[in-house]
Structure 1
Amino acid sequence: MSLLQDTPAAVSPSIGEDPSLLIVDDDKPFLTRLARAMDSRGFKVETAESVSEGLETISNRPPAYAVIDMRLGDGNGLDVISELKARRPDARGIILTGYGNIVTAVTAVKLGAFDYLAKPADADEIYSALMATRHDKAELPENPMSADRVRWEHIQRIYELCGRNVSETARRLNMHRRTLQRILAKRAPR
């Protein structure tokens, strides 16, 4: 379901007594649509377009729920999630990002995020993440990626981020350039 299709849903009893929700995102159209969609699901929504606005809202009225973009114009959404957990330890915050990777996901969870979603996430996914309990998380996959495949994908991601520059990728991975060239020439492991 798209954020544009924010059909009213019944107020969930799992929202609890405090339905306050803070959404922090610098993408104004997305922020507006998500706020409208969450309002129709029973939340009392406040919005912020920057880290500083988010921190100010949290210091005045720490919300029970939060949806925070990772990269904002004036800083990092992890600062907002960290402050939210310091002010209100029982709050449920999720991080949204277009730059998903394992390291930032782990960091977000360590700083207090309940979940981590990659953009584009729709209102239903976000609502489900906010209302989930820890045991609602996905089960361990039957056939997880092998360590070789995870390593290969990490190398490919760094290679792409470096603009397909082998020398720069090798330097960042602390690897010999020729070794990296051999890895890149091979097929992806299973």
Structure 2
Amino acid sequence: MNKQRDFLIVDDDPTFAGLLLRALERRQLSGEIAHSAADSLQLSEQFLFARAIIDLKLGADSGLQLIRELKLRQPDIAVLMLTGYSSISTAVEAVKSGAINYLCKPADADEILAAFGKDQKITATDMDYTPISVDRLEWEHIQRVLQENNGNISATARALNMHRRTLQRKLQKRPVKH
């Protein structure tokens, strides 16, 4: 593990991962791509990474569990959780697992690098308070219950007292903005 790389990109979308790596390489940064948790753990044995960009959903794998595993293997690695399925509960879980930041897709290389550049903690006084809409609260509640049921749509629908097809339609939509 004497080889060092700037970034480990873990995303099951090969197109996105490849574009992101090329954007980082244009900025004179090195990186490796993994499309699954197993691939990324294998790469962590070969390389020492300064930073990792991990997708929340990696096919059947969870990016949240991968953060914990990577932090055990490389404690100094700075991890950014990147997801298209954002919710407050997953953001909290990511930070508890060891991520330094949490971004919603689509995010470009500049936004990702800026997220790593923020070493200071964000305090409540740094953020403008805007009440969350009812639709956004519903989306986040669904995501939390879905996470509690390990992604099982039928069990989540029963827990929410909702028809399974209704839940599937709600999950196919993009997250509601605040």
TM-score normalised by length of structure 1: 0.67
Corresponding pairs, count: 149
Corresponding residue number in structure 2 for 1:140: 127
**Shift of residue 29, structure 1, vs aligned partner:** 1.0
Q: Distance in 2 between matches of 1:169 and 1:31?
A: 30
Asked if the contact 2:83–2:103 (Cα under 8 Å) also holds between the matched residues in 1, the reply is: yes
Answer with 1 or 2: which has the greater Rg. 1
Q: 1:173 to 1:134 in 2, by over 3 A?
A: farther
State whether structure 2 residue 159 is matched by structure 1 residue 172.
yes
Q: Distance in 2 between matches of 1:156 and 1:79?
A: 23
Does 1:79 find its partner at 2:65?
yes
Report the 3-state secondary structure (helix = DSSP H, G, I; strand = E; otherwise coil) of the residue aligned with 2:102: strand
- Deviation digits for residues 130-170 of structure 1 (CA, Å, limit 9, x no counterpart): 222124778121x432xxx56663235557999xxxxx999
1:97 aligns with 2:80: no
Q: Matched residues in 2 for 1:159 and 1:78: separation?
A: 18
Higher strand share: 2
Matched-pair contact (CA < 8 Å) for 1:62–1:84: no
Please give the residue correspondences for 1:124-139 in structure 2 after superposition, counting only pairs within 5 Å.
Answer: 124-135=110-121, 139=126
The amino acid across from 1:36 in the alignment is R
Q: Is the 8 A contact 1:22 1:66 kept in 2?
A: yes
Instruction: Give the unaligned 5+ runs of structure 1.
Output: 1-17, 163-167, 175-190
Check if 1:116 corresponds to 2:99.
Answer: no
Question: SS of the residue aligned with 1:90?
Answer: coil
* Shift, 1:78, TM fit: 1.5
SS at match of 1:64: strand
SS at match of 2:53: strand
- Structure 2 partner of 1:153: 136
Q: Please give the TM-score of this superposition, normalised by the length of structure 2.
A: 0.71
Offset at residue 89 of structure 1 (A): 1.9
Separation (CA, whole Å) in 2 of partners of 1:137 and 1:50: 33
SS at match of 2:12: coil
Task: Read off the aligned partner of 1:172 and give its amino acid letter.
Answer: A
Indicate conservation of the 8 Å contact 1:20/1:65, yes or no: yes
